[in-house]
Amino acid sequence: MLCPQRTVKVNTTNISVENIREFVARVPKTDLHVHLDGSLRLKTLIELARNSGVKLPSYTEEGLRKLVFKDRYADLGEYLKGFAYTCAVMNSTENIERVAYELAQDNLAENVRYIEVRFAPQLHVNQNLSLENIVSAVVRGLERARTEHNNSDSVKQGDDIPFEFGLILCAMRCFNPNMSGYYADLFRAMSYAPRNDIFAVASLELARAAVVLSHEKGLPVVGFDLAGEEAGYPAIVHRAAYQHAHRNFIRKTVHAGEAYGPESIFQAITECHANRIGHGTFLFAHDMIRDHEITDPRSYVEYLAEYIASQRITIEVCPTSNLQTIPALNDIGAHPVKEMIERNLSVTICTDNRLVSNTSVTREILRVIESIPVSLHQLRNLIVAGFKGSFFPHSYREKRAYVRGVLDHYEKLEHRLLSKED
């Protein structure tokens, strides 16, 4: 176990904590689960709010950390309150492009070399912003950072890894019509319909847009997601949207097992064709199973976990976010990521929301390996899983070459920083 101010024992090789931390900071990393509207720089949020006339509870970073973006939240509802402010300032293509550019810069600064930025463009649609305008603005911001990095001497000389990115469009499990002009118009047009039918229509429209933006417009839309309150809003409601994405070769991930049990994860895989699972926190919680037809919950969980492992369905684990929103989790040592690693599941460590959780990829990885005993091989798996499980926006052959370059760079740093100490 990696503990402060101690020499640690990993695979019979003594390695100092300082070297491990330097290694994690310098090694190429990924973030496959990062929400754009939850990852603004606090300084930028304040500036954009002033310029846009958006009222904040405080206009200082200290004040917002105390009142909105805390270390711990009472529940998921409180955690999500900050998005009302971040979404409000993302009200123009200029603001959205800037937020995307700064997110890429922040990732590049900590040696994250591949990100999949997810966001719900329907939240930002208004009379001046179309869905395509919004997605294009995100691409411009990320592409600007990508060009700057990939044109650097270090990349050209082979001393650094090129930066790549993809976009994941998020549908919402449920929403209030006041969340955006798009949702308000949809509620008016479908005032006769049950709420779940309205939610399903919105997600199907977004899935159709994802296909058009990817296949016809050539934008790097690599995935489709379903986010929002999980309990009471099953993924199966959005099956038509996922089926459309599936038929058109858009990769799929689903927020599942974050606030509900194993059945939610099973439904994401079987009904929504999920290639990856967002969070998956309650994968092993057999006591949360509610389906009376499941007569042996423990066996059900075993079969589900084995299926996920054998099919290499990557789980996007967001440790700090989970600790902030799930009262039963008191520390990372109690997080099911420990069992996921022990069972050799494909696990990638992610931030979820860099601002709301006040975190970074490096911090998340260190938090895990300083709380859970891991071997060098397991550490490698944790970091490389993000590259291998990515919805890479280029060909499979190019992805293999990219991952090979990452592995070469990883091995050089591993040899330099994690060699045996006397």
Q: What is the pLDDT of residue 10?
A: 46
Q: What is the pLDDT of residue 2?
A: 46
**pLDDT at residue 269 tops 90:** yes
Q: What is the pLDDT of residue 5?
A: 38
pTM for this structure?
A: 0.95
Mean pLDDT across 361-368: 97
Task: Summarize pLDDT for 274-288 with one digit per residue, the tens.
Answer: 999 999 999 999 999
Q: What is the pLDDT of residue 358?
A: 96
Q: What is the pLDDT of residue 216?
A: 98
Which of 15-24, 172-181, 303-312 has maximum average pLDDT?
A: 303-312
Cβ-based neighbours of 362, under 8 Å, separated by 6 or more: 24, 25, 29, 110, 111
User: Which band of pLDDT confidence, cut at 50, 70 and 90, is reported for residue 260?
Assistant: confident
**pLDDT at residue 6 tops 70:** no
Q: Is 258 a catalytic residue?
A: yes
Which one from 164, 258, 263, 364 is the annotated catalytic residue? 258
Task: Summarize pLDDT for 209-254 with one digit per residue, the tens.
Answer: 999 999 999 999 999 999 988 888 999 999 999 999 999 999 999 9
Q: What is the set of domains in the chain, with CATH numbers? A: 7-415 (3.20.20.140)
